[in-house]
Chain A
Amino acid sequence: MEIPVVFLGGQYNHLIVRALKELGVSSRLVMPRITLEDLRGADGLVMGGGPYSVNDGMGRFGGLPEIIERAEFPVLGICLSHQLIGKLLGGEVVKGRKPEYGRTVIRVLEEDEILSGVGKEFTAWASHNDEVRRTGNERFSVLADSEYCGVEALRAHGRPLYGVQFHPEVAETPKGKDVLRNFIGICRR
């Protein structure tokens, strides 16, 4: 079982690798310029957060837009990568009016598989200036929101492509391990 993690410069990217290893999966950090060809043999892919805005151009994201468009294995985007997925799937990304830094409460709207067993509400940590908004033409379902953020988790229509705005990889998100375990389960099938 091999799930690489894309390094986008975020503070917690290496904690994703650590969490996956603790869950028994082989993992490593890879750079954004990676291609689908490089990822042959991977069972899934997690993309981390980073200090950028998707509205400042796609240059920093290398091969990720194509991977998001065409990957046949499951993909999970966290924070900045969640916003990248949201934008590519027809949502818009805007500066949050009430940005979240630290503790927030995630409200589950639709469990899907990724949020299976985490309960109706759970505490998570988030750190973001931008957020995903629906446009009416988006090609994803909203799986969770919070008091200040309308799209805390999403799933692409008809594909195992997920995004979460909060950080499942940090110690202060107690249900985060469950979310990652669910993702590993999805990759295993």
Chain B
Amino acid sequence: MGVFKISDPGEVEAFDPARFTEEKVAEIRRFVGDGKAAIATSGGVDSTVCAALAHRALGERLACFFLDTGFMREGEVEEVKGILTSLGLPLRVLSVSDRFMAALKGKSDAEAKRIAFRETFYTVLGEAARAEGCDVLIQGTIAPDWIETAGGIKTQHNVLEQLGVDTKTAFGFRLLEPLLDLYKDQVRRLAVHLGVRLDASQRQPFPGPGLMVRCIGEVTEEKMEVLRRATTVVEGELSRLDPPPKQYFAAVAEDDRREADSRMARAAVGPNGRAWYLGARATGVKGDERAYGRMVVVEPGEQTEPADLLGIVEKVIHEDWGVVRVLLRVDGREGKAGGYAVIVRAVETRDFMTVKPTPVPREMLRRIASRTMEDPRVGLVCYDLTSKPPATVEFE
């Protein structure tokens, strides 16, 4: 009964990059016809591989856009341009950070921010694509993206039908997603086959909305600047671990901590420990349901390695079911003089469906904290002790 079959994922052994390329090149040519197509690339492995594939099919009939949203890391815009240019892709850079900042103004809810980002992204891209005469948009969506998006029990075969988005009406183009059935490891094999530079194909995941989802709560110029500096420090230090964590980054939130009651502190870190709530909320996943809840910062009475503290997350959540993340206080100034809290996140995983925190040595975290606090606006530095579930990898 083919009607019941919704996908055939996981054929790792059977995947043949050469055959896949041949089939998809033909499919892209059929779909685009005599017209032109646009693709937006972030420099990440999925969209870069997808661009290389589409370029093989369409040549000069492909317009490759890179949106500088203002949410990229230090030096990233230049780095991505270098990667894409080296592939011979016809690259157009759109500097549109003002549009994104305007769309996000006043928004502090994680979902509201993501929706504003998506609307702005496709509106800007649609304008640019139409100006180039493109009526097709090609996108590098892969299997876990739509399997996670699907969430509920629906029988449609692709993510657009499931989201109910008609791109032709909404944004003025037809959509093609050639990598829809692939997993990350298959995309990496395709990257090698297509000659995509290895440093691009092995880059750690970086979300489409970039630093926006690590700038917890409302995005401001100042907060983004603090985050960008902290990101450089955290990435620089943690990349020296051997092997480096599967993914590692910094996030920032307002340092508006208030002390939790002593019961919480005792349950979490014993009689000499302390615990605080941060005001900002973060995303998580509990029992396959999306959660959006509070973050608790803990400080044990004794100096303990993060590796020995992973069990306290459960204790904190059993005290307060509204908590999705538990953070270890690494260092901080007295009071709230700094204004911002920087959170260090590093995780180990096979496939990003479940993750556990990397046991980063306390010594390294202390060095990260002191370097991060050279920025006088940073008053608190924490390390995220939460696995997925109950947290997600990213904060929003």
Residues of chain A contacted by B19 (CB below 8 angstroms): none
B317 within 8 A of A: yes
Residues of chain B contacted by A118 (CB below 8 angstroms): none
Q: Are A31 and B349 in contact (CB under 8 A)?
A: no
What is the chain B residue whose CB lies nearest that of A103?
B387
Q: Are B10 and A100 in contact (CB under 8 A)?
A: no
A172 to B288, CA, bound (A): 16
From 163 to 182 in chain A, residues with beta carbon under 8 angstroms from any chain B beta carbon are 167, 170-172
A102 to B392, CA, bound (A): 11
A67 within 8 A of B: no
Give chain B's interface residue range (CB within 8 Å of chain A): 35 or more
Q: Are A29 and B6 in contact (CB under 8 A)?
A: yes
Residue-by-residue, is B139-159 near A (CB-CB < 8 Å gives 1, otherwise 0)? 000011001101111010000
Q: Are B356 and A101 in contact (CB under 8 A)?
A: no
Known: A29-B9, A127-B288. A15 touches B310 (CB 8 A): no
Residues of chain B contacted by A22 (CB below 8 angstroms): 10, 12
Q: Are A50 and B11 in contact (CB under 8 A)?
A: no
Residue-by-residue, is A1-32 near B (CB-CB < 8 Å gives 1, otherwise 0)? 00000011111111101100110000111111
Q: Are A103 and B286 in contact (CB under 8 A)?
A: no
What is the chain B residue whose CB lies nearest that of A15?
B353
Among B285, B317, B353, find the residue whose CB has the most chain A CB atoms closer than 10 A. B353
Q: Are A130 and B387 in contact (CB under 8 A)?
A: no
Residues of chain A contacted by B12 (CB below 8 angstroms): 18, 21-22
B318 within 8 A of A: yes
Known: A17-B10, A28-B8. A103 touches B288 (CB 8 A): no
Contact partner, A38, options B4, B9, B287, Cβ 8 Å: B4
Among B6, B9, B153, B313, find the residue whose CB has the most chain A CB atoms closer than 10 A. B153
Residues of chain B contacted by A129 (CB below 8 angstroms): 286-287, 289
Q: Are B314 and A100 in contact (CB under 8 A)?
A: yes
Residues of chain A contacted by B284 (CB below 8 angstroms): 101
A51 within 8 A of B: yes
A149 to B3, CA, bound (A): 38
A10 to B387, CA, bound (A): 18
A117 within 8 A of B: no
We find that the number of chain A residues with CB closer than 8 angstroms to chain B is 43
B389 within 8 A of A: yes
Known: A31-B155, A80-B288, A127-B288. A103 touches B6 (CB 8 A): no
What is the chain A residue whose CB lies nearest that of B9?
A14
Do most interface residues of chain B lie in helix, strand or loop, or is the interface mixed?
A: loop
Residue-by-residue, is B342-371 near A (CB-CB < 8 Å gives 1, otherwise 0)? 000000011101101000000000000000
Q: Are A50 and B356 in contact (CB under 8 A)?
A: no
Q: Are B5 and A29 in contact (CB under 8 A)?
A: yes
From 108 to 142 in chain B, residues with beta carbon under 8 angstroms from any chain A beta carbon are none
Q: Are A125 and B354 in contact (CB under 8 A)?
A: yes
Contact partner, B1, options A21, A32, A38, Cβ 8 Å: A38
Q: Are A29 and B7 in contact (CB under 8 A)?
A: yes
A49 within 8 A of B: yes
A79 within 8 A of B: yes
Minimum distance in angstroms from A27 CB to a CB of chain B: 8
Contact partner, A103, options B7, B152, B356, Cβ 8 Å: B356
Residues of chain B contacted by A103 (CB below 8 angstroms): 310-311, 314, 356, 387
A18 to B185, CA, bound (A): 12
B390 within 8 A of A: yes
Residue-by-residue, is B62-87 near A (CB-CB < 8 Å gives 1, otherwise 0)? 00000000000000000000000000
Report A's interface with B, CB cutoff 8 A: 7-15, 17-18, 21-22, 27-34, 38, 49-51, 60, 79-80, 98-103, 125, 127-130, 167, 170-172
Report B's interface with A, CB cutoff 8 A: 1, 4-13, 143-144, 147-148, 150-153, 155, 183, 284-289, 310-311, 313-314, 317-318, 321, 349-351, 353-354, 356, 386-390
Can you list 6 A-B contacts with CB-CB less than 8 angstroms, sorted by A residue number? A11-B285, A22-B12, A60-B153, A80-B288, A98-B314, A125-B387
